[in-house]
Amino acid sequence: MLGSGDNQVVFALAGLGALVTSVDISQNQLQIAQQRSYELGLSVEFVQADVTDLSALASDSFEVIYTGGHVAVWVSDLFKYYAEAARILAPDGLFVISEYHPFRRIWKESKTTLSVKSRYLDRGPFEYDYTDNVLSREIGSLKSYEYHWTVADYLNSVISSGCRILFVDEFGEDVGDWEGAPLDGLPEFLLIVARKDVA
């Protein structure tokens, strides 16, 4: 899994019997996950790396690559990210992306009305001042930069990576307390499933 974060998906896949490699840029996240995997009796390989530079992993070495759960927003080069994912994917392997839907990133914070804060086609980077809890609405002193990719950016990055898109879906309508706008009726996630072409 690329951009494994809290590793919940990693643990679920490992619990189902998959051989899983967890890749994240945060050594701290990986150390916590490694301890949890030990406590759960799961065998997981942990690799600290930036998703745009997976040189620590061999080409054509994974049957399935999964990434998602708000990873792409932190990545400044979506094409390089997906090209690296495709490089380590075995020929005919599956590339599965499940990301927070881009339509949900453009709104001003409001409990009652939807009002555009940033244009859908403005990809950023957007600068935020967070506390050490990124889900908090409080302004903090920690600088963060996000990119707001469009649906077309996701699709074109996959196509450019050498993978053939098999399936695309937009699903989910839950609205989390942290989202800060009345997003009922908007899709929550964008799912892309692709296969690496055999050379």
Q: Do the beta carbons of residue 67 and residue 51 sit within 8 Å?
A: yes
**pLDDT score of 135:** 61
Band (192; pLDDT cuts 50, 70, 90): very high
pLDDT(130) > 90: no
The b-or-e profile of 143-169 (16+ CB within 10 A means b, else e) is eeebbbbbbebbbebbeebbbeeeeee
| CA–CA distance, 3 with 74 (Å, rounded to integer) | 10
State pLDDT tens for residues 97-122: 999 999 999 999 999 999 999 999 99
**pLDDT score of 136:** 67
**pLDDT score of 76:** 96
State pLDDT tens for residues 132-191: 776 666 778 888 899 999 999 999 999 999 999 999 999 999 999 889 899 999 999 999
Topology (CATH) of 50-101+148-196? Rossmann fold (3.40.50)
Q: Do the beta carbons of residue 47 and residue 22 sit within 8 Å?
A: yes
**pLDDT score of 95:** 98
| CA–CA distance, 195 with 70 (Å, rounded to integer) | 22
Q: Where are the domains of the chain?
A: 50-101+148-196
**Higher pLDDT pick, 103 / 128:** 103
Q: Average of pLDDT values for 9-31?
A: 95
pTM assigned to the model: 0.92
Q: Is the dihedral of CA 185, 186, 188, 192 positive or negative?
A: positive
**pLDDT score of 51:** 97
**pLDDT score of 137:** 66
Instruction: Work out the angle between the directed axes of helices 151-160 and 78-88 (0-180°, nearest 10).
Output: 40
State pLDDT tens for residues 34-91: 999 999 999 999 999 999 999 999 999 999 999 988 899 999 999 999 999 999 999 9
| CA–CA distance, 60 with 24 (Å, rounded to integer) | 19
Which one, of 182, 108, 120, 196, lies nearest residue 153 by Cα?
Answer: 120
| CA–CA distance, 179 with 193 (Å, rounded to integer) | 26
Which tokens go with 178?
């942290």
